[in-house]
Amino acid sequence: MHEKSIELLNKAVADELYAIHQYMYFHFHCDDQGYDLLAGLFIKTAIEEMGHVEKCAERILFLKGDVEMKPASEVKKIHDVKEMLKLAAKMEFESAKDYNVWANECSKNADSATKQIFESLVTDEERHFDQYDTETENLEKFGQNYLALQSIERSKGRQARPQAE
Ligand SMILES: [Fe+2]
Ligand SMILES: [Fe+2]
């Protein structure tokens, strides 16, 4: 009945799955390099994207479609923090743009429930964009000090912890 909505929702699922993979990859590398703030931001965002997959999947099943669990892209193996943030901000910007267009398309097809899902995703992706954009600005403003501080904070935390037996 709502074939177009099912198609758009599956496109969203693919984009969200790719975002989860990419952000988890960034999380692993930030964590490995001792950048706790960014490692935390990436994993927190990945978990939110998982919630987005769930919202879309529930709607697809309601519309009697099936969920295609295929990530839209392969993970890009970026290890430079500035490049990570640049890609993440771009992904969020493009998702927000696509979901806006898809919300309008659902509206034209008289499927206001799917439209509302896409609208709620736009709000979240704009917030994600803003977070990555802010961290990019911090990195540009404070340079290596911004990253060094995150590593120092982690070392301090380790020292404060009681020694294991
Ligand atoms: Fe998302
Ligand atoms: Fe997002």
Taking the centre of ligand 1 as the mean of its atom positions, its distance from the CA of residue 153, in whole angstroms, is 30
Which ligand has the shortest distance to the CA of 53? 1
Taking the centre of ligand 2 as the mean of its atom positions, its distance from the CA of residue 112, in whole angstroms, is 22
Taking the centre of ligand 2 as the mean of its atom positions, its distance from the CA of residue 70, in whole angstroms, is 17
Taking the centre of ligand 1 as the mean of its atom positions, its distance from the CA of residue 155, in whole angstroms, is 33
How many helices (H) and strands (E) the chain has is answered by 5, 0
Taking the centre of ligand 2 as the mean of its atom positions, its distance from the CA of residue 63, in whole angstroms, is 24
Taking the centre of ligand 2 as the mean of its atom positions, its distance from the CA of residue 118, in whole angstroms, is 12
Taking the centre of ligand 1 as the mean of its atom positions, its distance from the CA of residue 161, in whole angstroms, is 36
Task: Return per-residue pLDDT of the chain as tens, 165 residues.
Answer: 799 999 999 999 999 999 999 999 999 999 999 999 999 999 999 999 999 999 999 999 999 999 999 999 999 999 999 999 999 999 999 999 999 999 999 999 999 999 999 999 999 999 999 999 999 999 999 988 888 888 888 888 877 766 655
Angstrom distance (rounded) from CA 151 to CA 37: 9
φ/ψ of residue 85, rounded to 5: -65, -35
CA dihedral 70, 60, 11, 109 (to 10 degrees): 160
Write down the pTM of the prediction.
Answer: 0.92
| Number of neighbouring beta carbons within 10 Å of residue 136 | 17
